[in-house]
């Protein structure tokens, strides 16, 4: 009888211990309190695929630790992990599906975590399956506050290419690209605005350093899949900023390149052709967003240096559109080598913010 009492006592202690150790709270990628920003592809039904620069995942919660179940296609994407909006470090998920701890040892009360994609879509997609919170876990509702919405279309300047390369070599390794420090992301944070960013280093409107051009991919979820169409009704920006033509300005003078031969044959495009192409792209954007303000921006690399014809191309295109809600804005030529530095990206953001404040009502 004493043996049975002892056994029952052990069972009770074990049960009590198990009950006092709360199970983690697991959130599927489709949970309504996860706050996504950017074009997210969830058509698989099992995960969210992340492609574009600046795509982010955010959650407000209570708990001692939080992890993300992720898998990267190539292991070459980097994310800023932002804890409580004041602490940040870099995460590089690999090709194995597993939980990555984002934060631990957290105090009681409300916390937030954000995964912000630093890198471009040419590094492959990241697959996000969900989150796990441990230690008195509680999921908090995402903000219902109505925010301003901005959409950016751009090239390497907008992507934040090599902004974290302090060697002066302008290196292409993905660790040096950081869209979080681009003028686009800085501007969006200034207004506490939602943002979508459609950008790619080397891309142009009439020609790129690779076969695809912006008018061909601007409406995709997966930039490399022509059948992957974005539903523009899912996100309606108040403001669109287009910063393109920097790559066109170089490549229209390179008849030896295959992209030139494919796009132009054996004759360089005329200014009229370039103007109409730019005008056509802006018209496509206007067709999707009839009420948005549109800023046709250019710079800050050598497309805006003194004597450049490219600001004139933009001005002619915008004049022809005869739309009072389409503006031109040219960033001063930075007159330094390579891509914009952190300081130069901040200068661009400051200039754009000033232009918006002085010209846009939203």
Q: What is the model's pLDDT at position 20?
A: 52
At 6, is the pLDDT very low, low, confident or very high (cuts 50, 70, 90)?
very low
**What's the whole-number mean pLDDT along residues 250-275?**
98
14 has a pLDDT exceeding 50: no
Q: What is the model's pLDDT at position 8?
A: 42
156 has a pLDDT exceeding 50: yes
102 has a pLDDT exceeding 80: yes
Q: What is the model's pLDDT at position 162?
A: 97
**What's the whole-number mean pLDDT along residues 125-133?**
98
**What's the whole-number mean pLDDT along residues 134-155?**
96
Q: What is the model's pLDDT at position 22?
A: 77
Q: Report the percentage of the chain scoring pLDDT > 70.
A: 94
Q: Rounded mean pLDDT of the chain?
A: 94
4 has a pLDDT exceeding 60: no
Q: What is the model's pLDDT at position 39?
A: 97
Q: For residue range 211-220, what is the model confidence (pLDDT) as tens digits? A: 999 999 999 9
19 has a pLDDT exceeding 90: no
Q: What is the model's pLDDT at position 272?
A: 98
Q: What is the model's pLDDT at position 249?
A: 98
**What's the whole-number mean pLDDT along residues 204-210?**
98
Q: For residue range 351-362, what is the model confidence (pLDDT) as tens digits? A: 999 999 999 999
Spell out the SS3 assignment of the chain. Answer: CHHHHHHHHHHHHHHHHHHHCCCCEEEECCCCCCEEECCEECCCCCCEEECCCCCEEEEEEECCEEEEEEEECCCCCCEEEEECCCEEEEECCCCCCEEEEEECCCCCCCEEEEEEECCCHHHCCEEEEEEEEECCCEECCCCCCCCCEEEEEECHHHHCCCCCCCCCCCCCCHHHCCHHHCHHHHHHHHCCCEEEEEECCCCCCCCCCCCCCHHHHCCECCCCCCCCECCHHHCCCCEEEEECCHHHHHHCCCCCCHHHHHHHCCCCCCHHHHHHHHHHHHHHHHHHCCCCEEEEEECCCHHHCCCCCHHHHHHHHHHHHCCCCEEEEECCCCCCCCCCCHHHHHHHHHHHHHHHHHHCCC
57 has a pLDDT exceeding 60: yes
CA pair distance 71, 79, nearest whole angstrom? 13
**What's the whole-number mean pLDDT along residues 323-340?**
98
Q: What is the model's pLDDT at position 21?
A: 56
Q: What is the model's pLDDT at position 276?
A: 98
224 has a pLDDT exceeding 60: yes
């Amino acid at each position: 009888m004493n043996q049975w009492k002892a056994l029952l006592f052990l069972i009770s202690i074990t049960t009590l211990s198990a009950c006092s150790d709360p199970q983690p709270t697991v959130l599927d990628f489709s949970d309504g309190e996860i706050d996504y920003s950017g074009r997210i592809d969830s058509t698989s039904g099992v995960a969210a695929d992340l492609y574009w620069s600046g795509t982010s995942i955010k959650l407000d919660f209570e708990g001692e630790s939080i992890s993300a179940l992720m898998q990267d296609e190539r292991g070459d994407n980097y994310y800023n992990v932002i804890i409580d909006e004041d602490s940040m470090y870099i995460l590089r998920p690999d090709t194995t599906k597993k939980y990555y701890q984002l934060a631990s040892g957290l105090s009681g009360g409300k916390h937030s975590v954000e995964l912000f994609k630093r890198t471009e879509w040419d590094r492959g997609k990241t697959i996000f399956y969900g989150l796990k919170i441990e230690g008195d876990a509680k999921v908090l509702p995402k903000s219902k506050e109505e925010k301003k919405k901005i959409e950016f279309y751009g090239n390497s300047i907008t992507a934040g290419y090599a902004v974290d390369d302090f060697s002066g070599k302008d290196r292409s390794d993905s660790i040096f690209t950081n869209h979080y420090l681009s003028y686009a992301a800085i501007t969006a944070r200034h207004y506490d605005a939602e943002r979508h960013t459609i950008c790619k280093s080397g891309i142009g409107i009439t020609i790129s350093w690779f076969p695809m051009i912006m008018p061909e991919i601007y409406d995709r979820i997966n930039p490399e899949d022509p059948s992957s169409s974005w539903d523009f009704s899912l996100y309606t920006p108040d403001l669109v900023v287009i910063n393109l033509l920097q790559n066109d300005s170089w490549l229209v003078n390179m008849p030896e390149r295959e992209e030139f031969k494919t796009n132009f044959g054996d004759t360089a495009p005329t200014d009229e052709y370039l103007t109409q192409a730019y005008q056509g792209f802006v018209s496509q954007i206007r067709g999707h967003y009839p009420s948005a303000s549109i800023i046709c921006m250019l710079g800050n690399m050598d497309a805006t240096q003194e004597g450049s014809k490219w600001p004139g191309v933009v001005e002619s295109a915008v004049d022809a559109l005869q739309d009072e809600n389409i503006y031109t804005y040219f960033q001063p030529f930075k007159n330094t080598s390579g891509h914009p530095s952190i300081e130069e990206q901040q200068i661009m953001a400051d200039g754009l913010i000033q232009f918006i404040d002085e010209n846009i009502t939203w």
